[in-house]
């Protein structure tokens, strides 16, 4: 009853359809709201990408790139200037650039996060993806997540059905 029938079936004027296929759009909308409001907020993303600790992790890569640029590409791009710049001057330029990047990077990343927020609607993306799942895919995902619970429901249903059957047999025997 949870997944089948996937398409609505009319039997004696009553329409039957599995709960998840019938409510897939509502499920997608609730999940989209949940993900965008509770799990993955843009303020969390903004904090992570503008965090000075994260900047420190990528500074060695930026420093290597600037060093390679100043030592290799600058001489290719501007050979005359590179002839007059010594090691000491290159190190001063690199230090000044690294200080400027360290000051600029958090602001740039905050602005980037703001732009990303306006361009990227997480709720809409989740709704679209989940609503677009095939019923088979949705069933597979839910079974992966809740297989133990579904098995428990099946066993309880069988036990309750057995008890009701025994009670009906007893009532039938007593009234005949």
Neighbours of 117 (CB within 10 A): 15
**Sequence ranges of the domains in the chain:** 9-133
Q: What is the pLDDT of residue 16?
A: 76
pTM of the model: 0.47
The residues, ordered by sequence, that sit 6+ positions from 50 with a Cβ below 8 Å of its Cβ are 106, 107, 109, 110, 113
The pLDDT tens digits along the chain (176 residues) read 666 676 778 878 887 777 776 777 787 788 788 877 777 777 777 777 777 787 788 889 999 999 888 888 887 888 787 777 888 888 898 999 999 988 888 788 878 877 777 777 777 777 787 777 777 777 787 778 877 887 888 899 999 999 999 999 999 998 87
Q: What is the pLDDT of residue 164?
A: 95
What would the two tokens of residue 49 be? 């990408």
């Amino acid at each position: 009853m949870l997944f089948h029938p996937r398409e609505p079936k009319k039997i004696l004027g009553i329409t039957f359809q599995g709960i998840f296929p019938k409510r897939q759009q509502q499920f997608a909308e609730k999940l989209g709201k949940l993900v965008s409001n509770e799990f993955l907020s843009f303020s969390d993303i903004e904090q992570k990408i503008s965090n000075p600790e994260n900047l420190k992790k990528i500074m060695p890569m930026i420093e290597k790139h600037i060093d390679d640029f100043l030592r290799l590409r600058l001489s290719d791009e501007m050979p005359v200037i590179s002839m007059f710049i010594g090691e000491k001057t290159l190190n001063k330029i690199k230090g000044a650039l690294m200080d400027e990047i360290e000051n600029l990077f958090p602001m740039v990343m905050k602005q980037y996060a703001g732009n990303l927020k306006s361009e990227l609607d997480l709720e809409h993306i989740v709704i679209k993806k989940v609503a677009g799942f095939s019923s088979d895919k949705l069933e597979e995902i839910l079974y992966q997540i809740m297989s133990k619970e579904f098995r428990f429901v099946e066993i309880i249903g069988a036990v309750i059905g057995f008890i009701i059957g025994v009670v009906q047999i007893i009532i039938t025997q007593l009234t005949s």
